Every structure is written in structure tokens, then in C-alpha cells.
Amino acid sequence: MNAFIVLLFTMLLAAPACAQQRPAPAEQRAAPKADPRAMLRALEDAFAAVADRATPAVVHVSTVPKKTPAGASEEAPERFKEFFGEEFYERYFRRRPREDARATGSGVLVDSKGYILTNNHVIENAQDIIVRLSDQRKFSARLVGRDPKTDLAVLKVDAPGPLPVAELGDSNQLRVGQWAIAIGNPFGLDRTVTVGIISATARTRVGVTQYDNFIQTDASINPGNSGGPLLNIDGKVIGINTAIVAAGQGIGFSIPINQARDVMQQLIARGRVVRGWLGIVIQDLTDQLAGSFGVKEGAGVLVAEVMKGSPADAAGLRAGDVVVELGGAPIKEVPDLQRRIAAVKPGQTMKLTVIRERKPVAVSVKIGEMPADEPVVAEAPGTDEWGLSVELLTGDAALRLDLPVSRGLLVTDVQPGSPAEKAGLRRGDVILEVARRAADDPANLYRALGALKPGESVLIYVHRAGGSSGGANQFLVMERSRKP
């Protein structure tokens, strides 16, 4: 980026010399010459104005993580780092050396009442969340809600008076090549300002979230910038900085602010995000698949499976259908269909066009509500008693983690001395069955555990990653503690 600015400076200084080589039209000869230094000073003033305007609304977020089991000394496979990047790997998969170790990140105040937008991975697994403002005041923050599917979270601090707020922009109006300014706390260096451009928009298949739709920028983003704002030249927030490509330079990703705003509003209103749902498993069309189904490559997505009892099942969709249009607009790839269905209000009827047996077929589907696979802010009943936190394992997550299983409950936390730890469960295990029944819903797991009487036990079937073979399945027994 520095090289780019130097080149720009050189070109501006060279502009008068270049102009002298060409005779200017008579009507332009009397016009005053543009001063390249003045132009650079104006640009410098614009960057400084953005920093002055937005920095007070950028906060430092630090968390005290929940205690990890004493026996959880084994680290997750190094391949996890490839998919999540070193910052995410070090923070959430590698054993913490000290119980008082703090994770840090950034956030941005978006409401004078104290609402803060940040990343889910900044506060995930946090026992306590501390927010420090630009005036060095510290507040204990409350988690309003989080959405792992987009890696967003909303915090709330209670201050005695109004707080500085960043103005939100419109990420739908972004163009590649526009200026981009990032503010955050990389490596604990509070409120660092970096400048770059928008390198790309609507960047998918990054592998960071289920609904990848990122702004790509070359503004310097480093560990600790996560959750901080990406701003335009007017000082308006256009994105929430989220991830970097660990192996590269000048490749950072931000969640578009329009998407973040919608998630934030839902988290504040109900503590969770409601999304539309079809109930199908889909895949991209390769050259070979496209030819077999009578369509062009990239001209739709293939339905690999239709879930029984789902809206797609009720509408008559079939495995082998190729979805080419939704609501009259073309569908080209899996992320496109996923995002657009998720954005539909449940209960609304949408028209799909599918290619079935090489012929177009119109299908009307009443969109359902996506089943919740993430706990609302309040933990599921029984979590404290059992010392066990889980989330539904999605096919995408299983693929990113290189797991041989695609369904089950991923163990995200095990408390020391808890029944879960005594049973031998570890973070990263995938619970496949509970009492010889498929583990497909966190709520069902806690209900089954809650039905046990003191001293009774239940059989747990788990998959554990690791080893030369990539992992193995095993049975464990979890017992409900006897009352004293």
C-alpha cells in the first residue's frame, strides 16, 4: 500500500511536466495549474478527518476465557490452522498456557446507548468481557447475542451518559478501487489506523463463515483488528474486519455493514437470527455434472438431497433437480442460493425454476424457518450441571475441519471436574449418538441428560479426531451426579 501511495505522489508531481510537453488549447492556457502537493494534502486531511471522527467509537475488547479441562492437553490437528488462520487456531484450538490469559480484539460502538458490534470469535467461550473506550474508561460488557454463521456478535455496556457512535454506511454502494480505512487494536496496539482500497466485493468461499460474502481489502489487518470497523473516505462504517489470509499479505476480509446491520438488529430484538430454510443439500455443478444434467457449468446448483418433512419436500423438489432461478433471478453457485434463501422471511412463498430431466420446471415453495443449531445467549438448561457446551455440526464445518463425519454435535467446551469431563469428553469431540439415538439437536441432548435420575448414566457415542488414521469412534458413559 505504501508503494501505491508513493507511485501516486510521483505521478502527481510529474503531472505539470507531462502537461508542458503537450500544447494546451487556448481556452485552457489561462487556467491556473493544479498543485499536486495541495491535492496530496487534501487527501491527507481526509484520512486524518476519518481517524478523528471514527476513532472515539472504536473500542478494545478483552475476554477472560472459561476454564479448560486439566486433561485437555492435546492440541487440535495443525490442519485446523489452514482453514481458520493462525489467530483463530491459537485462540480457540490450542491449549491456553494460563488460566488468566486474555483474548483481545476490537469492536465499534453503533448506538449511543452502548451497543457494540464485534466478531463472534472475539468473545466466543468468554467468561467475562471487558470493553475499554478511547478515553480509557473500562466497562464490563453483556453479550446481547451472537451469530456464528456470520461471525458477528453484539455487546452492551451501561455508561452514565451517551457514548460516541460511528455512522454506518451502505456497503451495497461499494466499488472496487475505493479507499478503505481500518481502525482496530492489532497486537494490542490501540486504535491503529491503516489505509488501503477495496480489492473485491462479494468474496465467497473464503471458508471463514457459513455465509461468506466478504469485502476484500489491502488495508493492513492483523490479529486484534477482528471486530473493528472498515470505513470509507467519509468516515462511515462499511464493514466489520474479520479475517486475514495468514499465508499472504494485503488480503483481509470484512463483513459488509448492511449484512452486519441486519444481524445486529435481530440479535438485539430477539437474541437470535431468523433465516429462511428450504431443507436441501446442494452442491456446485462441475463440467461433468453439468453435462449429465443438461445445463451449462455455473448455471445453477444441484440438489443432492431433500430432507424429509422440509419445505422443499412439501413443494416436490427432488434430488437431481438443478436450481437455476429464485424469484426470477439467476442462481449461479451454492453460496448465492444459501444467502438468498436465508434472507427470505419464513412463511413467504418463493418461485424456483429447476431443470428436471433436462426440462425447466416451475416450483413454488413456502419458505420455512431454519432450525436453530446455535444456543441463544442464555445457555441451554443443564449446561452448568453437566459442564458441557455443544453446537450442531454442519456439513460445511465438517469439511473445513477435515472430519470424516458430517452430522452430530460438536463439543465446544468441557468444564473441569464436571460430569462431562469425568465421562472423558473433550473439546473437539463430535457426539454421534446419545442412548443409541442420533444426536441431531443440542436441546434433545440436554433433555435426555435432564431426564436422568441421580446415579443413572447414559451411553454416549463419539468421534474423536487425531492420530495417523484421522480419528476413531468410541463409547463413553456419562453419569448424573448423586445428590449429597
3 state DSSP class of 186: helix
Closest residue by Cα to residue 214 from 241, 177, 254, 183: 254
Residue among 106, 171, 226, 389 flagged as catalytic:
226
Other C-beta atoms closer than 10 Å to the C-beta of 292 total 13
d(CA 25, CA 31): 11
Sign of CA dihedral 202, 206, 208, 209: positive
| Cell numbers describing residue 151 | 461471525
d(CA 381, CA 130): 26
Taking CB atoms within 8 Å and a gap of at least 24, the contacts of 81-85 are: 81/246, 83/207, 83/400, 83/401, 83/402, 84/208, 84/400, 85/208, 85/243, 85/244, 85/245, 85/246
Other C-beta atoms closer than 10 Å to the C-beta of 405 total 17
| Cell numbers describing residue 367 | 419458505
Active site residue 226: yes
d(CA 158, CA 155): 10
DSSP state of 332: -
d(CA 330, CA 350): 13
Taking the C-alpha atoms of 20, 24, 27 and 32 in order, what is their torsion angle to the nearest 10 degrees? -20
Residue among 147, 151, 212, 218 flagged as catalytic:
151
Other C-beta atoms closer than 10 Å to the C-beta of 448 total 17
d(CA 408, CA 290): 31
Question: Bridge-partner residues for 34, per DSSP?
Answer: none
Closest residue by Cα to residue 431 from 439, 422, 423: 439
Active site residue 151: yes
Active site residue 121: yes
In 367-434, the DSSP E strands lie at: 368-369, 388-392, 409-414, 430-434
Taking the C-alpha atoms of 251, 252, 256 and 262 in order, what is their torsion angle to the nearest 10 degrees? 150
Q: Contact, 300 vs 280, CB < 8 A? A: no
Q: How long is the chain? A: 484
Residue among 60, 62, 121, 373 flagged as catalytic:
121
Residue 150, sorted as left (phi over 0), alpha (psi -120 to 50) or beta, turns out to be: alpha
Q: Contact, 244 vs 253, CB < 8 A? A: yes
Q: Please list the active-site residues.
A: 121, 151, 226
